[in-house]
Chain A
Amino acid sequence: MTSKERVEAVIRHEKPDRMPIYGWVRYNMKDKIDERFGSVEAFEDHYAFDLAHLFGGPDAYFIGDEYTRKKEAGEEIEPPDVLNLPLNNPEEDKDFDNLRAEIKHHKEVRSRFVYVQTPGLFEQLNTVFGIENHLCYLLEYPDEIKEIYRRQAEWNRKFAGKCLDLGVDMIHVSDDWGSQKSLLFSPDIWWDMIYPGQKLVADYVKGRGGHISLHSDGDINLVVDGIKKIGYDVVHPWQESAGMSYEDFLKNHSDSFSIMSGYDIQTTLGFGRLDDVRSAAERVVRLFGNGGLIFCTTHFVQDHCSIDELVFAYDTICELTRT
């Protein structure tokens, strides 16, 4: 199987020839990896990563003078302000130049499964409002927030369409909804405000023959039924340290979607406890030997992880899945 075929087998709930492997290693570990391997790309080649996670394209919002003035003056940016902010063109060809080149490289040279990060409704607006204000506005400005999310969902749909035109395999919606022990907001708010826009994007992507995945940290148990209804193919991470049990996933959800998970960066990888790293890898391989999982870190590997530990972690998972 090629990497792409391997990942697609997991998405189709079939048993792949081996577990696909990936990791969010670039963000904090680049310098250490460069020093040992020459580049992050060389590290990814060394471990034959099956996926490429790409970023790029236009920003959603055109930030004008009035917005900048308010931000700099420390004034709250409120939903009516954002309704007056114009959105950039999500299909502007020149904004996709870098992405186009990367997609071509990973697909044609490496035969990888390529997924592109796109903004979720909640996460995108956190950068505009600040998360604390945003959470309050969900209650204080429900009608305006729904309209802002509706506009954003339409923008995301067009952005996703452009990515699919370029040959991307999966649209990855990054939208953190979970806290350590529950959702950040109520399930009622999620169904009322988040679900419609995410469903619009997912239906479009799947209608075009693409795959769609979700990134949400934390405990999202309360909306797993909604995640199924939206039709996500993959959910990343499945954060056991925030109450998301692998056993529960296998028993109740694995027919509906697959997960990307493996080394928990909150509890396991980066603490110098190599036995724990190995145990985590062994357990995941034991539980998901028949599929259902793309091996990955639960988030960016943190910079307290040594390069030796990172190498041990990936040597271990390769040894367990490829020999």
Chain B
Amino acid sequence: MNDPLQQLIEAIKVGNRKIAATATQTALDSGSSGKEVLGALSEGMDDVGKRFKANEIFVPEVLVAARAMKKSMELLEPILVKSGIKPEHTLVIGTVKGDLHDIGKNLVAMMMKGANFNVIDLGTNLPAQTILDAAIEHKADLVGLSALLTTTMPAMRETVALMNKEPHPFKIIVGGAPITQDFADDIGADGFAIDAASTVELARTLVTSS
């Protein structure tokens, strides 16, 4: 396999950071555009997402793929900035107040980056106002809220309520172990996703429809 873009896709699929970095550099050196390299990254991560959703692979495989993508992005980002290529949509994401768990949120953030969203990861244990302020500041198209504990579901409700108090341009996606579609509907979220790969699909649908 001599095509560096194809090598990059394969490196992302198997989560090989070293080969991902080398293939990215080779692709850029041999004349591939930033957009083409980005396309290869998205193709690789899409494949990872599909296999994760189908239970063919598990969390470790997604994490190493995302880390390989991150290595590639470190080389690619300056090129994209120089070429004026920016992701079309921005996701502001965080874990609601009281919840320090972040693996689910991190997986979503990684896969959304792989799907070429601009991801602003605010971290964990976030007051509602902090998330709302960040959504406005970064002109978010989407806000992603995560909760692992049933204890923090009320904080998720409060966060969505604060956001929905005034009209806003972004859609709100919620997820996490205890969250259900019924709960999402009940608190006024725009969408619920059961796993990271489904979040990407849902996000694409929501930004297309808005």
Contacts and interface: CB of A to CB of B under 8 A. Distances in A.
Do A and B actually bind? yes
Main secondary structure of the interface of B (DSSP, over half): helix
Main secondary structure of the interface of A (DSSP, over half): loop
For chain A, give the interface size range.
20 to 34
Interface residues of B, number: 21
B63 A181 contact: no
A182 B60 contact: no
Interface in A132-154: 132, 135-136, 138-140
Given A132-B106, A140-B64, A270 B150 contact: yes
A82 interface: no
A302 B151 contact: yes
A303 interface: yes
A132 B150 contact: no
Given A136-B60, A186-B58, A181 B103 contact: no
A135 B194 contact: no
Interface string A195-215: 000000000000000000000
A304 B59 contact: no
Contacts of A267: 178
A157 B74 CA distance: 45
Contacts, number: 55
Contacts of A179: 59, 177
B100 to A, nearest CB: 12
B58 A266 contact: no
B150 A135 contact: no
A315 B195 CA distance: 37
A55 interface: no
A182 B64 contact: no
Nearest to B176: A180
A274 interface: no
Contacts of A182: 55, 58
A280 interface: no
Most chain A CB atoms below 10 A, which of B60, B153, B178, B194: B60
B67 interface: yes
18 contacts: A28-B151, A132-B103, A135-B59, A136-B60, A136-B64, A136-B67, A138-B60, A139-B15, A180-B177, A181-B55, A181-B195, A182-B55, A185-B58, A186-B57, A271-B150, A302-B151, A304-B150, A304-B154
Interface of B: 15, 55, 57-61, 63-64, 67, 103, 106, 149-151, 153-154, 177-178, 194-195
Interface of A: 28, 131-132, 135-136, 138-140, 179-186, 189, 265-267, 270-271, 302-304
